[in-house]
Amino acid sequence: MTHKVGLYIHVPFCLSKCPYCDFYSVRYSREEAERYADALIRNIKHYEREFDSVYFGGGTPILLHEHIAEILKAADITEDAEITVEANPCLAIPEFLDDLRRAGVNRMSFGVQSMNADELLFLGRRHSMKQAENAVRNSHDAGFENISADMMIGLPGQTEDKIKHTAEAIAELGVTHISAYILKIEENTPFAQSRPELPDDDRTADLYLYTAELLEKLGFMQYEISNFAKPGYECKHNLKYWRCEEYLGVGPAAHSYFDGKRFCVAQNINAFMNHQNEVITDDAPGGWDEYAMLKFRLTEGITYEEAKRFGKRDEFIRKAEKLPRSLVNITDRGVNLTKEGFIVSNSVISELVF
């Protein structure tokens, strides 16, 4: 019997490009979106597997609202699957949300980013604070109970007060999950040209710690470096990535860990319309290095039992004991990174793993 896996569907359409974003997307057109939905359906039917989570990411997946029902019908999805659609708040109107709800979608994820007008302007977002509020309200009215919002930290001149305003405003709307990402300048984006002056590493670390502690006070418990949830609302689909479990990615630029291999699809929508051409990037994934790099991103960390499965138990304990307790917690069960450890996660994880 094959085990159930997650399904990621990339929707590479946006109304305009945000200056910090390096995700693969092209300008939306209705005709191309229709042809793309057909291509997704053809490709998904090709995989005979049962999926227990589905995540429509992008791009701006809500732009495919009319087609989500047909796309989901093409896949074998368990009754209790978590089915998420990412959306720009300015598109979360009742009619679109009703389409998603009827299709079986049960989780919305909004790119709110900030509840300060000047920060939204800096980020080149199309939505206003009012639209972000309406997006969550409309989702509740449409019957969504599981709602996530993204917020961004490390913006130029950002203060603790601004973060507090955003976090409290989002929390008050009644969301169940918040992702707090640190702004990074990615190559080949408009910000790589204009080079806005971001806070230095120490200041960004302070803002990160402030945000993490504030979100916990607001009832959102940290479960991953950038993710916080009300109890029981951790994102089941994304947990699969960090627990090194299998998922299939469909669409240009999608990545997969499926049937014992890692592969990716070229960032080319026209090529994908013909066929999902997969390029294998790793034909023997799931080793200790990879497992530990992913799993240490979670607050649950790694247990001694897990390390033993890879024959690494003693070495892992020895390495953890050499690190300062401000960066790692060592318990009866295993080892996990502290909030300070998350700030320098790459170097802490390297010390623990290599």
> Which of 16-24, 90-98, 225-233, 282-290 is the region at the interface with ligand SF4 (rule: CB under 6 A)?
16-24
Q: Which is nearer to ligand SF4, 58 or 301 (CB)?
A: 58
Least gap, CB of 313 to ligand SF4 (angstroms): 42
Rg of the chain over all Cα atoms, to the nearest angstrom: 20
Near ligand SF4 by CB under 6 A, which window of 19-27, 146-154, 240-248, 251-259? Answer: 19-27
Which of 8, 11, 25, 293 forms a contact with ligand SF4 (CB under 6 A)?
25
CB atoms within 10 A of CB 231: 10
The minimum distance between CB 15 and ligand SF4, in angstroms, equals 7
Smallest gap from residue 343 Cβ to ligand SF4 (A): 24
Asked if 182 touches ligand SF4 (CB under 6 A), the answer is no
The stretch among 28-36, 55-63, 91-99, 317-325 that binds ligand SF4 (CB under 6 A) is 55-63
Per rule CB under 6 A, is residue 114 in the interface with ligand SF4? no
**Residue 288, C-beta contacts closer than 8 angstroms, at least 6 positions apart:** 310, 312, 353
- Contact between 88 and ligand SF4 (CB under 6 A)? yes
Closest CA to 146 of 178, 169, 168: 178
Residue (of 348, 9, 17) closest to 192 by Cα position: 17
User: Would you count residue 17 as binding ligand SF4 (CB under 6 A)?
Assistant: yes
Q: How far is the CB of 58 from ligand SF4 (least distance, A)?
A: 5
Q: What is the token pair recorded at 2?
A: 């094959």
Out of 111, 154, 199, 341, the only residue in the binding site for ligand SF4 (CB under 6 A) is 111
Residue whose C-beta lies closest to ligand SF4: 21
Q: Which two tokens stand for residue 350?
A: 């390297």
Smallest separation, CB 317 to ligand SF4 (Å): 41
- Binding part of the chain for ligand SF4, among 13-21, 39-47, 158-166, 227-235 by CB under 6 A, reads 13-21
Q: Is 124 buried (19+), middle (13-18) or exposed (0-12) by CB count in 10 A?
A: middle
Contact 58, 25 (CB under 8 A): yes
**Is 6 or 57 the residue whose CB approaches ligand SF4 more closely?**
57
Residue 38 CB, nearest distance to ligand SF4 (Å)?
A: 22
Q: Does 18 bind ligand SF4 (CB under 6 A)?
A: yes
User: What are the C-alpha distances in Å from 250 to residues 33, 52, 282?
Assistant: 15, 15, 17
Q: Cα–Cα distance between 103 and 105 in angstroms, integer?
A: 6
Contact residue for ligand SF4 among 43, 53, 60, 114 (CB under 6 A):
60
Q: Is 14 in the site for ligand SF4 (CB under 6 A)?
A: yes
Q: From start to end of 221-269, where are the E strands?
A: 221-224, 227-229, 247-250, 255-258, 261-265
DSSP code for 345: H
- Helix boundaries (H) for the chain: 30-45, 68-73, 94-103, 117-122, 129-142, 160-172, 190-194, 201-217, 236-242, 269-274, 288-295, 304-309, 313-321, 339-343, 345-353
Residue number with CB closer to ligand SF4 (134 or 299): 134
The window from 15-23, 140-148, 318-326, 337-345 that contacts ligand SF4 (CB under 6 A) reads: 15-23
Cβ count near 7 (within 10 Å) = 29
Q: Select from 247, 230, 231, 250 the least CA-distant residue to 239.
A: 247
Residues 282 to 341: which contact ligand SF4 by CB under 6 A?
none
β-sheet bridge partners, residue 10: 57
What number of chain residues touch ligand SF4 (CB under 6 A)?
11
Interaction site with ligand SF4 (CB under 6 A): 14, 17-18, 21, 23, 25, 58-60, 88, 111
